[in-house]
C-alpha cells in the first residue's frame, strides 16, 4: 500500500530564515505530487505540482519554491520566510496517467513564522 510522509510536523521559524519541508511517498512510482497551503479556517491553496522529476509547475508567485530531486520526493523551500508564510502545508500525491483519480494527503506541517 502507498503511504505519504511529511516532516517536520511542526515548525516555528523567525522571519527571514530559510525553510525546507520534505514530503516522500512510498509504494508507488512516478506519482503526481502537490504542495498546498491552508491558512487558518480557510480552504486549500495549490502552490506547486509536479508530474515528474525536475518538472515543477507553480500556481502562485511568491517567495516559495519547490523541487523534486527524486521520483517520490517533493521539497518545499524558501530562502527568506515572511510572516504571511505561516500556515498549514499539505503534501499530496495522485496516480499518474489517465487513471489518476483523487489525491491522497500527508499529515501536514504546521508552520509558524514569528
Partner 1 sequence: AQTVTQSQPEMSVQEAETVTLSCTYDTSESDYYLFWYKQPPSRQMILVIRQEAYKQQNATENRFSVNFQKAAKSFSLKISDSQLGDAAMYFCAYRRETSYDKVIFGPGTSLSVIP
What cell was used for 84?
504571511
Task: Decide: 26 and 3 in contact? Cβ < 8 Å.
Answer: yes
Residues 46-65 close enough to bind partner 1 by CB under 8 A: 46, 49, 51, 59
CB of 40 to partner 1, least distance (A): 11
Residues 27-46 close enough to bind partner 1 by CB under 8 A: 32, 34, 38, 42-44, 46
DSSP assignment string, 6-63: EE-SEEEE-TT--EEEEEEEES-SS-EEEEEEE-TT--EEEEEEEEETTEEEESS-SS
> Does residue 101 touch partner 1 according to CB under 8 A?
yes
Residues of this chain that bind partner 1 (CB under 8 A) = 32, 34, 38, 42-44, 46, 49, 51, 59, 88, 90, 92, 94, 96-98, 100-105, 107-108, 110
Amino acid at each position: 500500500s502507498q503511504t505519504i510522509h511529511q516532516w517536520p510536523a511542526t515548525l516555528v521559524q523567525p522571519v527571514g530564515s530559510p525553510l525546507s519541508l520534505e514530503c516522500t511517498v512510498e509504494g508507488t512510482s512516478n506519482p503526481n505530487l502537490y504542495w498546498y497551503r491552508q491558512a487558518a479556517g480557510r480552504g486549500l491553496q495549490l502552490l506547486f505540482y509536479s508530474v515528474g522529476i525536475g518538472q515543477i509547475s507553480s500556481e502562485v508567485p511568491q517567495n516559495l519554491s519547490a523541487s523534486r530531486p527524486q521520483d517520490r520526493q517533493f521539497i518545499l523551500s524558501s530562502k527568506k520566510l515572511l510572516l504571511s508564510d505561516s500556515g498549514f502545508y499539505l503534501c499530496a500525491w495522485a496516480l499518474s496517467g489517465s487513471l489518476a483519480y483523487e489525491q491522497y494527503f500527508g499529515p501536514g506541517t504546521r508552520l509558524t513564522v514569528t
